[in-house]
A and B are shown apart, each in its own frame.
Chain A
């Protein structure tokens, strides 16, 4: 079935790099996404990657996609306390209809 998995928690020190991992199941997904959610707020798109790409870099964010292993990762360089939030990965299912499947979210805590 459709499933996206993430680890629940990650703790890093300010200035270090954070790596958040995600595995997904639908190999036909055309796009994969990373969203950030701050307390009590909606989800904010951070970045996305097209399925024929291996890597995408956007300022402090680097997305790596291993399509063979269905593994997606988000690296945040020079992590700041303002990066503390929940991070969700998501895939889009386009066969028949458009549905987005979200992971459980990874809560990132940045220690000063």
Chain B
């Protein structure tokens, strides 16, 4: 079955540590996205990538980094520079086909807690 796999589902980090969240998709989608979700604030865009080897900052990119070396993979690193990293992180992907509805498909999410 095609889909998006995020890992780990739960992650605990000490202050000052970098952590990397994995996102893999087998949908053959060109575009991939990372969102952060905090209670009562909806989804905020961290980074997105329209194509391999290219990515753009979203609205809250500070303290985060990404790479897009393969079409299937879009890992997110939460660095020690991110002041308040405790949140639920969602990865998503979309087909860029001109005839489609460009539906965004989500993974199950990763919950990061900083101790």
Instruction: Write out, one digit per residue, whether chain A residues 5-24 have a CB within 8 A of any chain B CB (1) or not (0).
Output: 00010000000000000000
Q: How far is the CA of A97 from the CA of B102 in the complex (A)?
A: 12
- Asked if A103 contacts B42 (CB within 8 A), the reply is yes
> Main SS of chain B's interface residues?
strand
Q: How far is the CA of A18 from the CA of B105 in the complex (A)?
A: 25
- Asked if B41 contacts A104 (CB within 8 A), the reply is yes
B interface, how many residues as a size bin?
20 to 34
- Asked if B102 contacts A102 (CB within 8 A), the reply is no
Residues of A within 8 A of B41 (CB): 104
- Asked if A41 contacts B108 (CB within 8 A), the reply is yes
> Main SS of chain A's interface residues?
strand
Interface of chain B residues 90 through 115 with chain A (CB within 8 A): 90, 92, 94, 96, 101-109, 111
Q: How far is the CA of A90 from the CA of B35 in the complex (A)?
A: 13
How many pairs, one residue from A and one from B, have CB atoms within 8 Å of each other in the complex? 60
Closest to B96 in A: A98
Instruction: Write out, one digit per residue, whether chain A residues 40-82 have a CB within 8 A of any chain B CB (1) or not (0).
Output: 1111110010100000000000000000000000000000000
- A interface residues, Cβ below 8 angstroms from B: 8, 30-31, 33, 35, 40-45, 48, 50, 88, 90, 92, 94, 97-100, 102-105
13 cross-chain CB contacts under 8 A: A30-B102, A33-B104, A40-B109, A40-B111, A42-B106, A50-B101, A98-B48, A99-B58, A100-B33, A100-B92, A102-B42, A102-B43, A104-B40
